[in-house]
A and B are shown apart, each in its own frame.
Chain A
Amino acid sequence: MRYVILGARVIEGLVFLVFGLNGLLHFYNPPLPTGDALTWFGIMTAHHWVNFIAVEQLVGGLLLLVGRFVPLGLVLLAPVIVNILLYHALLWPHGYQLAILMLVTEVFLLGVYWRSFAPLLHPNPEAEFPKL
């Protein structure tokens, strides 16, 4: 099972590392969508929104690969995956398989690292303040 966890980490980490680097360096240009999706993507690119997403993917992917701060990496990548899924569901279905794979690895890793996230769902969280 250790190797399944390692495999999930390496797959998700590598995919986001490569996509993040590509978003900044453009060594591979995937075929562009058409219609609304193309307009939308053009605006996101022209206003540098994609650069921010690429940096987040790069950092999240690196954290998963390095193996320190794995929960932090998962937290960074979770909203990115939600938006990738929304993009494929609402604008451009082509290439959704990779997004599904990312969802599966993310959910699996959230599951095995559940101890880190359990306090988020503690039934009675305490607010703490420094003594003034």
Chain B
Amino acid sequence: MKVVTLICRILLGLGFVLFGCMGLFMHPQLPPHGSAMGDFVNIMHDVRWSHAVAAFQVIGGLLVLFGGTLPFGLCILCPITVNIWLFHLLFHAVAPSMIGAPILVTILEIVLLYAYRGSFAGIWTTKAKPTL
């Protein structure tokens, strides 16, 4: 099973580093203005919001790839994944070619969240006490 987690880590980490670098350094083919999705994507790109997301993708991907920081990396990548899903579902961009990557990423994250559930146990407890 260790091999499974290792493969999941490498796929997830590399995937997000790659997507993040593409978002940061490449000029994407943006959909045209006029549709809701086109306007949305263009605004996100013009004000550089998508660059901020891409930077978080790179950071999260690297944290997942490095040994000891995987749970923290998942904390960054999971909200991004939620928003990727919201984007695809709410803008009806659900063609199979479009949601293959999100589905794969989600499966990898669920496997890793389960495998490293010990690291997340502190979040789920009802008896958390503040310390100072």
Interface of A is mostly: helix
**Chain B: interface residue count, which band?**
35 or more
Q: Are A117 and B122 in contact (CB under 8 A)?
A: yes
A123-B68, A129-B1 known; A47 vs B90 contact (CB < 8 Å): yes
Q: Are A71 and B123 in contact (CB under 8 A)?
A: yes
Residues in B neighbouring A91, C-beta threshold 8 A: 43, 47, 49
Question: Hey, what's the 0/1 contact readout for B108-132 against A, CB within 8 Å counting as 1?
Answer: 0000000111111111111011111
Q: Are B122 and A40 in contact (CB under 8 A)?
A: no
Interface residues of B in 92-112 (CB under 8 A from A): none
The smallest beta-carbon distance between A51 and chain B, in angstroms, is 10
Q: Are B119 and A115 in contact (CB under 8 A)?
A: no
Which of A86, A120, A126, A129 has the most chain B CB atoms inside 10 A of its CB?
A: A120
The distance in angstroms between the C-alpha atoms of A120 and B70, with both chains bound, is 8
The distance in angstroms between the C-alpha atoms of A51 and B59, with both chains bound, is 28
A: number of interface residues (CB 8 Å): 44
Interface residues of A in 57-98 (CB under 8 A from B): 68-72, 75, 78-79, 82, 86, 90-91
The smallest beta-carbon distance between B99 and chain A, in angstroms, is 17
Q: Are A121 and B46 in contact (CB under 8 A)?
A: no
Q: Are A43 and B40 in contact (CB under 8 A)?
A: yes
Interface residues of A in 94-119 (CB under 8 A from B): 109, 112-119
The 3 closest A-B pairs by CB, nearest first: A79-B79, A116-B122, A112-B130
**What are 7 A-to-B residue pairs whose CB atoms are below 8 Å?**
A49-B86, A112-B131, A119-B122, A120-B120, A124-B67, A124-B68, A132-B1
Which residues of chain A have a CB within 8 Å of any CB of chain B?
Answer: 1, 5, 36, 39-40, 43-44, 46-49, 52, 68-72, 75, 78-79, 82, 86, 90-91, 109, 112-129, 132
